A and B are shown apart, each in its own frame.
Chain A
């Protein structure tokens, strides 16, 4: 069974540029999560979906971040105007009926 797939693996931007991250969850997993992991810190939840619906986006900086999962499968996280403080690894995870989240390898973002 394929795991959670994320792309790109790395992104380097100047402040003010936009970037999108893509996630393909494990087939059949209805719940998808995006986490932000600053260097040397634990991951922090940004947003999560059940199917195509956003269940909780309370930690998503809504002025610059957006996330969609239009068909309840793949998901895209976008940063409209990146800041240096957005430098982090962005992790996607998915879950089916069980309680276990399965994580992708992440996208490592550096904002210069």
Chain B
């Protein structure tokens, strides 16, 4: 079963500085990768989906996927205090019903 590790566990950045989050996975069987955000007490909000190696941008959020390195990252440009939340990477295999396997999460705090 796919194992997913996220780093760092927590991150504090100043408003406007780039925030970078990382996710490593245990094998190359997944073909769908997503980053979700979870504000305290709320559900999960999908930020960006990426299905092939390279880069995918959605507004201020950019995901980078390198399946050979078993690594996917998320970069948040010009983070704002409202971006303070837990960020979860998730992956799945399309032919397995899109069952998501989640990482452990990175808690991001954006200082004003």
Interface residues of A (CB under 8 A from B): 3-4, 31, 33, 35, 40-45, 48, 50, 55-56, 91, 93, 95, 99-106, 108
Contact = CB atoms under 8 A, between A and B. Distances in A.
Contacts of B102: 42-44
Contact of A103 (B4, B43, B92, B103): B43
Contacts of B45: 103
Interface stretch (B11-19, B66-74, B77-85, B93-101): B93-101
Q: Please classify how large the interface on chain B is, using the bins under 10, 10 to 19, 20 to 34, 35 or more.
A: 20 to 34
Contacts of B92: 99
Interface string B43-60: 111100100000000000
A43 B44 contact: yes
21 contacts: A4-B43, A33-B99, A33-B100, A40-B104, A40-B105, A41-B104, A42-B103, A43-B102, A45-B99, A45-B101, A50-B97, A91-B43, A91-B44, A93-B44, A100-B49, A101-B46, A101-B98, A103-B36, A104-B43, A105-B41, A105-B42
Contact of A101 (B4, B42, B100, B101): B100
**From B4, B49, B102, residue with most partner A Cβ within 10 Å:** B102
A106 B86 CA distance: 15
